[in-house]
Amino acid sequence: MRIHVRKYAALFTLALLLSGCAGRTELQKYEKQMLYFDTVISISFYAGENGDRLMEHCVQMCSGYEKIFSRTDGASELYAVNHRTEQKVKVSPEIAELVTAGLEYYEKSAGRFDITVAPLSDLWDFKSETPSVPADEEVKEAAAAVDASKVHLEGDRLVFDSEQTMLDLGALAKGYAADRLKEYLESEGVRSGLIDLGGNILTIGTRPDGEKWRIGIQKPFAGRGETAEVVEIADQTVVSSGTYERYFEKDGKLYHHILDPDTGYPADTDIQSISVICDSSLMGDAVSTTCLALGSQKAEELIRGLEGVRAVMILEDGETIHVEKDGDGGTAHTAGSEDE
Amino acid sequence: MAGLPIRQEVKMNKRRNMVILMCIILAGIVCGTLARLSSEREGTWAVVEVDGNEQARLYLDQDTEIRVGDEKQGYNVVRVRDGKVFVSEADCPDQICVREGGKSKNNEVIACLPHKMIITVHSEAEEAGQKTDAYTW
């Protein structure tokens, strides 16, 4: 009898200990949808009891970046830079970093990716309810004001060669913000999470079950959520850019929102959508927009020259191309219309 | 019971154990069914948030209509009809939320940027069987 009691007591203690340990490492899913950067963003991650505090901090970070990078908010730092009175402006490290990245891709894309495209995008105004083709002279005039080579970074100061130059960091801000959010969550011990900033996806580790995250690529010009293909990633980012995101049709011609800084008109591209998979969301943002403007041939060359970057391109004719760095599997062409 | 022969006592104990076992199984079935029923009740719902604050939780199996905001700050009329949630009316300039149409699938979103309003659909059953974790576009 005595022995039995002891046995049960030992088992009970063991059970208690086990449940206690499990309780401490038990992770919970925290998820929040918000409106920032002109789009719907969603942050979800697995954490312990401190999850609410972590989420609160993420929200503050987003709101902080919006106050720096918004082009329309009259109180933002970028607004002040664009409405400067002197051509030498002291800027925050955040703006300096994005301008540096922007100028790097300006070089890499031979001028097709341009962070000074603001006068043109304002003129075309693809966000308006009734977008229209502007007058040709207006397009030429706006295009003349676009030139990223007139912006220089000297230490913590931006130097502009022209008063007309205006910055638009919208093509990079979401990628940058996603990277910083991930960095913060990881520093707080988060090992599994998914950051979705308006379709820019950045993952932290794997799914809680240890599997890779499955990310659907939007089928161009189809209903929202219709997938062309699913990519599996762990701890990486997928960023897409496509002509279907914002466009309008006029006289049977499609006008999309990726503008060619030289001509002032939508870039002549055979790519409908490109999804770039790599480690940094900022890089994904820059590479995807650049590739879309370049067209499939030059895009392939660019991606093959970049370390740790792969891409899925869907072309106008329906062909899907998978591009990887030389030696990492090369390029696979798949004929289109492989609809499920 | 002291008067009963040992063999009979064992038999009684067995029967009693059987009864207890049956009761436990029955209780389990009842609890399981109740839990399933209540989770089916929770099946699919939409959360309406304005500026990050939850305003309402609408179950999609019940037709309803609510109005969030006011004439001053701007308003959206959110309706549930035939298992779908949609914005039937709003005074925002772009009307994107109205044009978005009805939503009923897990993680589908209707957003009204000018009014800082988001409607998110949640469905536990669908989440469990979902093939993808997110969409890139």
pLDDT, tens digit, 9 for 90 and up, residues A133-171? 999 999 999 999 999 999 999 999 999 999 999 999 998
- Mean per-residue pLDDT for A238-249? 92
Please tell me the predicted confidence (pLDDT) of residue B41: 43
**pLDDT greater than 50 at residue A207:** yes
Please tell me the predicted confidence (pLDDT) of residue A325: 78
Share of chain A above pLDDT 70, in %: 88
Please tell me the predicted confidence (pLDDT) of residue B39: 45
Query: What span, in angstroms and rounded, lies between the C-alpha atoms of A64 and B58?
Result: 32
- Mean per-residue pLDDT for A280-308? 94
Task: Say what the pTM is.
Answer: 0.79
Q: Is A223 on the interface with B (CB under 8 A)?
A: no
Please tell me the predicted confidence (pLDDT) of residue A330: 58
Q: Could you tell me where the DSSP H helices lie in A77-215? A: 77-82, 93-108, 118-124, 136-144, 170-187
Residue B81 identity: R
**pLDDT greater than 70 at residue B42:** no
Are the beta carbons of B85 and B110 closer than 8 angstroms? yes
B109·A40 Cβ contact <8 A: yes
Q: How far is CA A320 from the centre of its chain?
A: 21
Q: Is B7 on the interface with A (CB under 8 A)?
A: no
- Mean per-residue pLDDT for A197-226? 92
**pLDDT greater than 80 at residue A85:** yes
Q: Which residues of chain B does A200 touch, with a Cβ-Cβ cutoff of 8 Å?
A: 136
Query: What span, in angstroms and rounded, lies between the C-alpha atoms of A306 and A283?
Result: 10
Q: Residue window 59-98, chain B: list those with CB within 8 Å of chain A.
A: 93-95
Which are the contacts of B126, defined by CB distance < 8 A and separation ≥ 6?
A: B44, B105, B106
Task: Label residue B40 by pLDDT band (50, 70, 90).
Answer: very low
Please tell me the predicted confidence (pLDDT) of residue A338: 43
- Mean per-residue pLDDT for B106-134? 85
Tokens matching residue A178: 């996603």
- Mean per-residue pLDDT for A16-21? 48
Residue A193 identity: G
**pLDDT greater than 70 at residue B99:** yes
Q: Which residues of chain B does A275 touch, with a Cβ-Cβ cutoff of 8 Å?
A: 136
Please tell me the predicted confidence (pLDDT) of residue B31: 67
A213·B134 Cβ contact <8 A: yes
The gap between the terminal CA atoms of chain B, to the nearest Å, is 77
Checking ipTM against 0.95, whether it exceeds it is no
Q: Which residues of chain B does A194 touch, with a Cβ-Cβ cutoff of 8 Å?
A: 133-134
Q: Of A35, A215, A275, which is closest to B133 when you measure between CB atoms? A: A215
Please tell me the predicted confidence (pLDDT) of residue A22: 44
A8 exposure class (CB count in 10 Å sphere: 0-12, 13-18, 19+): exposed
Question: Is A301 or A340 the better-scoring residue by pLDDT?
Answer: A301
Q: Is A210 on the interface with B (CB under 8 A)?
A: no
User: Among residues A83, A85, A79, which one has the least CA distance to residue A66?
Assistant: A79
Please tell me the predicted confidence (pLDDT) of residue B35: 56
The two beta strands, A271-278 and B109-112, are: unpaired
**pLDDT greater than 60 at residue A80:** yes
- Mean per-residue pLDDT for A251-262? 92
Task: Label residue B77 by pLDDT band (50, 70, 90).
Answer: very high
- What is the CA angle A36-A39-A42, rounded to 5? 70
Average pLDDT of chain A, as a whole number: 90
Q: Where are the beta strands (DSSP E) in chain A?
A: 28-36, 39-47, 88-90, 151-154, 157-160, 192-197, 200-205, 213-218, 227-233, 237-242, 247-250, 253-256, 271-278, 310-315, 320-323, 331-334
User: Among residues A131, A169, A164, A130, which one has the least CA distance to residue A266?
Assistant: A131
Question: Is A161 or A130 the better-scoring residue by pLDDT?
Answer: A161
State how far residue A274 is from chain B, nearest Cα, in angstroms: 9
Token pair 């942050």 is at which residue?
A: A43
Question: Is A182 or B15 the better-scoring residue by pLDDT?
Answer: A182
Please tell me the predicted confidence (pLDDT) of residue B106: 85
Task: Label residue B70 by pLDDT band (50, 70, 90).
Answer: confident
Question: Is B29 or A98 the better-scoring residue by pLDDT?
Answer: A98
Query: What span, in angstroms and rounded, lies between the C-alpha atoms of A266 and A126?
Result: 11
A287 exposure class (CB count in 10 Å sphere: 0-12, 13-18, 19+): buried
Q: How many CB atoms sit inside 10 A of residue B18's CB? A: 10
What is chain B's length? 137
- Mean per-residue pLDDT for A274-282? 97
Query: What span, in angstroms and rounded, lies between the C-alpha atoms of A280 and A269?
Result: 25
The two beta strands, B74-81 and B64-70, are: antiparallel
State how far residue B112 is from chain A, nearest Cα, in angstroms: 9
Instruction: Supply the DSSP string of A41-70, one letter for each residue.
Output: EEEEEEESTTHHHHHHHHHHHHHHHHHHH-
Tokens matching residue B66: 């609510």
Q: Is B105 on the interface with A (CB under 8 A)?
A: yes
**pLDDT greater than 90 at residue A314:** yes
Query: What span, in angstroms and rounded, lies between the C-alpha atoms of B67 and B90?
Result: 9
Q: Which residues of chain A does B134 touch, with a Cβ-Cβ cutoff of 8 Å?
A: 42, 194, 196, 201, 213, 215-216
- Per DSSP, the three-state class of A240 is strand
Q: Which residues of chain B does A245 touch, with a Cβ-Cβ cutoff of 8 Å?
A: 137
Q: Hey, what's the torsion of the CAs at A63, A69, A70, A73, to 10 degrees? A: 80
A218·B135 Cβ contact <8 A: yes
Share of chain B above pLDDT 70, in %: 85
Q: Residue window 169-198, chain A: list those with CB within 8 Å of chain B.
A: 194, 196
What is chain A's length? 340
The two beta strands, A213-218 and B134-136, are: parallel
A214·B135 Cβ contact <8 A: no
Q: Which residues of chain A does B137 touch, with a Cβ-Cβ cutoff of 8 Å?
A: 199, 218, 224, 240, 242, 245
Token pair 């003349």 is at which residue?
A: A144
**pLDDT greater than 60 at residue B108:** yes
- Mean per-residue pLDDT for A246-269? 92
State how far residue B134 is from chain A, nearest Cα, in angstroms: 5
- Mean per-residue pLDDT for B93-117? 90
Task: Label residue A336 by pLDDT band (50, 70, 90).
Answer: low
- What is the CA angle A151-A155-A159, rounded to 5? 25
**pLDDT greater than 60 at residue B78:** yes
Give how far Cα A243 sits from Cα of A258, A266, B70, Å: 7, 9, 37
Q: Of A33, A38, A194, which is closest to B134 when you measure between CB atoms? A: A194
* Interface-testing mutation among A32, A33, A38, A212, with chain B (most B C-beta atoms within 10 A): A33
**pLDDT greater than 70 at residue A84:** yes
A201·B95 Cβ contact <8 A: no
Q: Residue window 320-339, chain A: list those with CB within 8 Å of chain B.
A: none
